[in-house]
Amino acid sequence: MNILPSATVHHANHWTGSKTPLLRFLERCYQDFVTENAGNVADYIPELGKADPARFGISLATIDGHVYEVGDSRIPFTIQSMSKPFVFALALDTLGAERVERAIGVEPSGDPFNSIRLNAENHPFNPMVNAGAIACSGLIHESKGAGAFDYIRQALGRFAGRELSMDEAVYASESATGDRNRAIGYLLRNSGVVTDDVNAVLDVYFRQCSVLVTARDIAVMAATLANRGINPVTGEQVMTPYAISRTLSVMTSSGMYDYAGEWIYRVGIPAKSGVGGGILASLPARLGLGSYSPKLDKHGNSVRGIKVCEALSSHYDLHMMNRNDNARNSIIADYDLGQSPSRRSRRPHEQRLLAAHHHDVRIIELMGTLTFANIDYVSRQIAAKPRPSFIIFDLRRVAVITRPAGRLLAEGFRELAAFNVTAILSGIERSSPTWQAIAEWTEGISNLRNFRLLDDCIEWAEDQIVYRYSGAIDSHAMTELSEQPLLAGLSAQELTDLASLGTIRNYEAGTTIIAASEPPLSLFFLKSGIVHVRLPNGVRIATLTAGMAFGEMALLEAHRSADVLADKSVTALEVPLADFQRFREQRPRVGERIMHNLAQLLADRLIVANTKVSVLTAS
| 336: β partners | 362
Q: Which of 402, 396, 401, 449 is closest to 424 using CA atoms?
A: 449
User: DSSP H helical segments within 161-196, as ranges?
Assistant: 168-177, 179-190
Which residue, 73 or 208, is less far from ligand GLU as judged by CB? Answer: 208
Q: Does 209 bind ligand GLU (CB under 6 A)?
A: yes
Q: What is the DSSP string of 388-409?
A: -SEEEEEEEEEEEE-HHHHHHH
Cβ atoms within 10 Å, residue 217:
31
Q: Which of 271, 277, 285 is closest to 323 using CA atoms?
A: 285
Which residue, 65 or 112, is less far from ligand GLU as judged by CB? Answer: 112
C-alpha 124, offset from chain centre: 37
Which residue, 303 or 428, is less far from ligand GLU as judged by CB? Answer: 303
- Footprint on residues 121-180 left by ligand GLU (CB under 6 A): 130, 174
92: phi then psi, degrees, rounded to nearest 5? -60, -45
Q: Which of 271, 146, 122, 261 is closest to 197 using CA atoms?
A: 146
What minimum distance in Å lies between the beta carbon of 296 and ligand GLU? 9
Which residue, 206 or 525, is less far from ligand GLU as judged by CB? Answer: 206
Q: How far apart are CA 289 and CA 287, in angstroms?
A: 7
What minimum distance in Å lies between the beta carbon of 173 and ligand GLU? 10
What minimum distance in Å lies between the beta carbon of 128 and ligand GLU? 9
Biggest alpha carbon distance in the chain?
Answer: 113
Q: How far apart are CA 321 and CA 364, in angstroms?
A: 32
53: phi then psi, degrees, rounded to nearest 5? -65, -15
Which residue, 62 or 253, is less far from ligand GLU as judged by CB? Answer: 253
What minimum distance in Å lies between the beta carbon of 109 and ligand GLU? 13
Q: What is the DSSP string of 502-558?
A: SEEEEE-TT-EEE-TTSPP-EEEEEEESEEEEE-TTS-EEEEEETT-EESGGGGT-S
Q: How far apart are CA 593 and CA 608, in angstroms?
A: 23
Q: Does 255 bind ligand GLU (CB under 6 A)?
A: no
Which residue, 205 or 507, is less far from ligand GLU as judged by CB? Answer: 205
- Footprint on residues 41-80 left by ligand GLU (CB under 6 A): 80
Number of residues that bind ligand GLU (CB under 6 A): 11
Amino acid at 313: S
Q: Does 484 bind ligand GLU (CB under 6 A)?
A: no
Which residue, 126 or 130, is less far from ligand GLU as judged by CB? Answer: 130
What minimum distance in Å lies between the beta carbon of 18 and ligand GLU? 38
What minimum distance in Å lies between the beta carbon of 195 and ligand GLU? 21
User: What does the radius of gyration of the chain's CA atoms come to, in whole angstroms?
Assistant: 35
What minimum distance in Å lies between the beta carbon of 1 and ligand GLU? 14
Which residue, 185 or 502, is less far from ligand GLU as judged by CB? Answer: 185
Q: Does 260 bind ligand GLU (CB under 6 A)?
A: no
Q: Does 274 bind ligand GLU (CB under 6 A)?
A: yes
Q: Does 113 bind ligand GLU (CB under 6 A)?
A: yes
Q: How far apart are CA 259 and CA 271, in angstroms?
A: 11
Which residue, 184 or 490, is less far from ligand GLU as judged by CB? Answer: 184
Q: Does 81 bind ligand GLU (CB under 6 A)?
A: yes
What minimum distance in Å lies between the beta carbon of 133 and ligand GLU? 7
What minimum distance in Å lies between the beta carbon of 113 and ligand GLU? 4
Q: Find the binder of ligand GLU among 59, 62, 109, 114 (CB under 6 A).
A: 114
- Answer yes or no: are the C-beta atoms of 565 and 511 closer than 8 Å: yes
What minimum distance in Å lies between the beta carbon of 211 and ligand GLU? 11
Residues 6+ apart with CB under 8 A from 494: 587, 590
- 3-class SS of residue 434: helix
Q: How far apart are CA 87 and CA 148, in angstroms?
A: 11
Q: Does 109 bind ligand GLU (CB under 6 A)?
A: no
What minimum distance in Å lies between the beta carbon of 257 and ligand GLU? 7
What minimum distance in Å lies between the beta carbon of 130 and ligand GLU? 5
Q: How far apart are CA 31 and CA 25, in angstroms?
A: 10
Which residue, 171 or 583, is less far from ligand GLU as judged by CB? Answer: 171
Cβ atoms within 10 Å, residue 87:
27
What minimum distance in Å lies between the beta carbon of 137 and ligand GLU? 11
Q: Does 181 bind ligand GLU (CB under 6 A)?
A: yes
Which residue, 25 or 77, is less far from ligand GLU as judged by CB? Answer: 77
Which residue, 114 or 253, is less far from ligand GLU as judged by CB? Answer: 114
- Footprint on residues 461-480 left by ligand GLU (CB under 6 A): none
What minimum distance in Å lies between the beta carbon of 180 and ligand GLU? 7
Question: What number of CA atoms fall less than 13 Å from residue 297's CA on the CB side?
Answer: 15
Q: Does 336 bind ligand GLU (CB under 6 A)?
A: no
User: DSSP H helical segments within 328-486, as ranges?
Assistant: 348-356, 372-383, 403-418, 433-442, 454-470
What minimum distance in Å lies between the beta carbon of 301 and ligand GLU? 9
Which residue, 204 or 391, is less far from ligand GLU as judged by CB? Answer: 204
- Answer yes or no: are the C-beta atoms of 395 and 368 closer than 8 Å: no
Q: How far apart are CA 403 and CA 405, in angstroms?
A: 5
Which residue, 136 or 395, is less far from ligand GLU as judged by CB? Answer: 136
- Answer yes or no: are the C-beta atoms of 504 and 527 closer than 8 Å: yes
Q: Find the binder of ligand GLU among 193, 275, 296, 309 (CB under 6 A).
A: 275
Q: Does 300 bind ligand GLU (CB under 6 A)?
A: yes
Q: How far apart are CA 113 and CA 543, in angstroms?
A: 72
Which residue, 210 or 450, is less far from ligand GLU as judged by CB? Answer: 210
The residues that touch ligand GLU, with contacts defined as CB under 6 A, are 80-81, 113-114, 130, 174, 181, 209, 274-275, 300
